[in-house]
Amino acid sequence: MDTDRLSLPGQSATGRPLSGLSLKVKLAGAFAAMFLAAAGIGAGAGLFQLRIAGLFQQVHERDFPLATGALKIADESNGLVEAARLLAAAPDDRARTQAVALFDRRIAALETQLGKVHALGGDPAAGDRMGGLLREADGAAKALDGQVRRPLDGAARRAKRMEELGAAHAAFLARFQPMVRELTLTIQNVTMDLPSDAAGLNRLVLTLVSKDLPVRQALSDILGDVNLAVTLLGKADGTGTVAQVSDQARQFAAAAKRVEFFADFLANILTDETPRRMAQAIVAFGRGEDGIFALRQAELEARAGAMAAEEKLFALMDRLGKQADALAAANEASAATAAEEVDAAITRGLAVTGILVALAMLLGVVSGLFLVNRSIRLLDRLRAAMAELAAGRLDLHIPGLSRGDEIGGMARSLEVFRANALEVGRLKQEQEQAARRAEEAKRTARLELAQHLETSVNTVIVSLIDAARRMRSDAQALSANAEQTKRQSLDVAGASASASERVSSVATAADQMASSIEEIGRHIDESSLIAGDAVREADSTNDAISGLTDAAGRIDQVVELINSIAAQTNLLALNATIEAARAGEAGKGFAVVANEVKALANQTAKATEDIQAQVNQMQLVTERAVASIRGIAGTIGRMSEITSTIASAVQEQHAATQDIARHAQEAASDTHSVSRTIDDVSQAAAETGAIAGTALTTATSLHAEADRLQTEVARFIDTIRAA
């Protein structure tokens, strides 16, 4: 250590007199100089900040709001176009009202934004042009609203009429479809149950020709024409052109005339005005100014006018959008120019500020070198002394003990630490010597205790191992004896079980033979009974077939009557056709009905011919069946006699088989008793073997535990000795 250059109080390290100031005062002076330099830099930077703030204020309060307002005007213009589209495509009156309200809100928002842009100093000419376009667009939107409202009102009235048409159509079907089904069922029932006398048949044919058949045909025709009319009205509801609606209206007029004709016919023949009234109600939906066809045509014409108003409005929207885009572009250019000016001012301010900061840093470095360099050398020597003390060297000299400033105080404090470290080292050596003496005494006591414990425990473990060895030997002998007894018992049990199974098999076979013989006897008895029943059934069937032959003869008579009725019906239909031809146009319906009756009569005649052929065939088959059944009855009688002979022989065989089964069952019972006794012996031997096995396991486990105890005790003694 270099201690010759340490300063004395009142002198510097080179021997020059000190000013008497402390290190804290010197540092405060240096920082004051740096603060004054920083204040000068801040004043210079403040001038540039004022310039930049002015530019920022202009951009913030004028240029950017103008650009933002112009962009909002362009955005509101797009929203105005969207509102116009919603108005043009409104599907109902509610959507139209919402679209008009949205358009008005967009117009008001645009006017508000134009006022803000004008107040900020925007282009007055551009604002006037935008205002004029907004007024024109507002007028065009009101015109479009009027054009859109007309088809929507017509569509609402048409939808209501279609709903009423659906209800009227459903009521018409509910009224007359059941009548058609009822008349059809009545005609079918009547033709299937014709009267046997000629007078009744004539009355029936007259009723069918004069009322039932014409009414049924008229109802079927009017239902078809009503369905056609309703279908045409439904098509008109979705038709896209006026020409198509006109064509559908012409088809509807033809169908309506047919509906009215059949309605008048039904009202006259039924003496009921309901058909005429309900038909006229349905026909009215397609006629007049309030008819569905007229409403649809007016709606299509109104939509054509709405398209012209829509084109005018969208042309104005296009001009308005272009004007808004031009205004936004101009204001964006102005804002961009102002932003460039601000950017240039910031760049200049940053350059000047950088120069001032560099000057301040240079001043700080010079002041620090001047102030710190004089004290840093002594502080470095103190740091080296601290490192030596930390490494354990306590015989060194601490520099700077005679200084009167803060560095001298640090040196004196370090000297106190050195003295304390010397005292602590001395006390530590004394404590280590006392601890070594106490540890030696404890080790001697542990060795004596381990020797005594090892002798006592080894004696006990040797006795325990001998006892476990003897116990394991006895258990092994007992287990071997039990295993031999178990094997011998199993051999005897196997032989006994085999004998028992053979005897049981004989008994079972005898029982099965007896059961089979008994079953054969029962089946033979049943066969005898069935043969008798078959003979009786054959006789009964013979009688039934004879009755069937008589019934076939009566069917011939009924078929001849039906042929006669069909011929008369055909004649009446011919007369009705002639009378209908004389009646001209008014008799067309009767001619149709007469033709249907004639066709029905021809079908009836043809069906009776088929029935006659089937009846003749049935008579031939019946005669052959009678002969076959008589032969079957004779054969069954002979089978019954043979079955009785077999039954007596089976009963004798059944008695002998029962004796064999009884003796076999007694032998099987004795064999089972022997098997149970042997099973008891085998079970006892198994239990003895299990007990011996348990004892052997216990002895083995005890021997192993004794060995483990000896090992653990030895390890414990070694641990004590090692400690």
Select the more confidently predicted residue: 665 or 557: 665
CB under 8 Å to 411, separation ≥6 — which residues? Answer: 382, 398, 399, 400, 401, 403
Residue 22 is classified by DSSP as -
Paired residues of 11 in beta bridges:
17
Angle value at C-alpha 332, between 329 and 337, nearest 5 degrees: 130
Contact between residue 84 and residue 75 where contact means Cβ atoms under 8 Å apart: no
Q: Would you say 141 and 87 are in contact if contact means Cβ atoms under 8 Å apart?
A: yes
Per residue in 334-366, pLDDT tens?
Answer: 555 655 665 565 666 666 666 766 666 666 666
Of 362-371, 513-522, 686-695, give the lowest mean pLDDT range: 362-371
The pLDDT value recorded for residue 13 is 41
Confidence of residue 255 (pLDDT cuts 50, 70, 90): confident
Burial class of residue 333, CB neighbours in 10 A (0-12, 13-18, 19+): exposed
The SS3 call for residue 90 is coil
pLDDT exceeds cutoff 70 at 250? yes
- Cα gap 696→474, rounded to integer Å: 8
Per-residue confidence (pLDDT) for residue 329, from 0 to 100: 61
Q: How far apart are CA 118 and CA 133, in angstroms?
A: 16
* DSSP for 123-136, written as a single string: -HHHHHHHHHHHHH
Q: Residue 286: how many CA atoms within 13 Å on its side-chain side?
A: 29
Look at residue 385 in the predicted model and tell me its pLDDT.
Answer: 75
Radius of gyration, alpha carbons of the chain: 66
In 3-state terms, what secondary structure has residue 17?
A: strand
Residue 579 has pLDDT above 60, yes or no: no
In tens, the pLDDT along 304-325 reads 555 666 666 666 666 766 666 6
Among 559, 599, 641, smallest CA distance to 217 is for 599
Environment class of 709 (CB within 10 Å of its CB; exposed 0-12, middle 13-18, buried 19+): middle
Q: Judge residue 188's burial from the number of C-beta atoms within 10 Å of its C-beta, 0-12 exposed, 13-18 middle, 19 or more buried.
A: exposed
Give the pLDDT score at 15. 42
| 10 confidence band (pLDDT: 50, 70, 90) | very low
Mind spelling out the 3-state secondary structure of 155-170? HHHHHHHHHHHHHHHH
Looking at residue 158, what is its pLDDT? 73
Q: Per the structure block, which two tokens stand in for 12?
A: 């510097």
| CA–CA gap between residue 30 and residue 34 (Å, rounded) | 6
Phi and psi torsions of 11, nearest 5°? -135, 155
Residue 637 — very low, low, confident or very high, per pLDDT cuts 50/70/90?
low
Stated length of the chain: 723
Query: What's the pLDDT score for residue 25?
Result: 61
Residues 500 and 667: their CA atoms lie apart, in Å, by 8
Give the tokens for residue 478.
Answer: 């007992």
Residue 260 CB contacts under 8 Å (≥ 6 apart), including other chains = 276, 279, 280, 283
| Least-confidence region, from 6-20, 523-537, 572-586 | 6-20
pLDDT mean across residues, the chain: 67
Label residue 19 by pLDDT band (50, 70, 90). very low
Q: Which residues of 371-383 are buried (b: 16+ CB within 10 A; e: fewer)?
A: beeebeebeebbe
Q: How confident is the model at residue 14 (pLDDT cuts 50, 70, 90)?
A: very low
Q: How many CB atoms lie within 10 A of CB 4?
A: 5
Return the number of other C-beta atoms located less than 10 Å from residue 443's C-beta. Answer: 12
* pTM listed for this prediction: 0.32
**86-90 long-range Cβ contacts below 8 angstroms, 24+ apart:** 87/141, 87/144, 87/145, 87/148, 88/144, 88/148, 88/306, 88/310, 88/313, 90/148, 90/152
pLDDT at 613: 67
Question: CA-CA distance, 294 to 689, in Å (whole number)?
Answer: 112
